[in-house]
Structure 1
Amino acid sequence: MMGISIWQLMIVLLIVVMLFGTKRLRGLGSDLGGAISGFRRSMSDGDNAASAETVKHEAK
């Protein structure tokens, strides 16, 4: 089968590090982590608001 070997992944990683540098990749990783964290927080806030709205309508 034609799969991606570990050596091919290492070469791609090396090229990416050479093109962008470790500092920029670290910043990109932290920005991506912050975006995912914000998305999860907004999703949980939306779920909490929806359940509170449901409880309010059921109480009437």
Structure 2
Amino acid sequence: MSITFEVEKETKGAIRYREVSEDPVIGTLYIRKAHLKDLGLTGKENVIVEITKEEK
């Protein structure tokens, strides 16, 4: 399942993202500013989160 998020607000230490959906699965997602560069992000773009079941 892929879930798209758009930037909602910049907080002191994180970027807050809002899920782009009429029926949210996750809702709000925070990504710490300290990790944006590690993820290849600037904090101004939308992100897609992929959820998969862990196979054991």
TM-score normalised by the chain length of structure 2: 0.22
Higher relative contact order (CA 8 A, sep 6+): 2
Bigger Rg, which one: 1
User: Which structure shows the bigger proportion of residues in strand conformation?
Assistant: 2
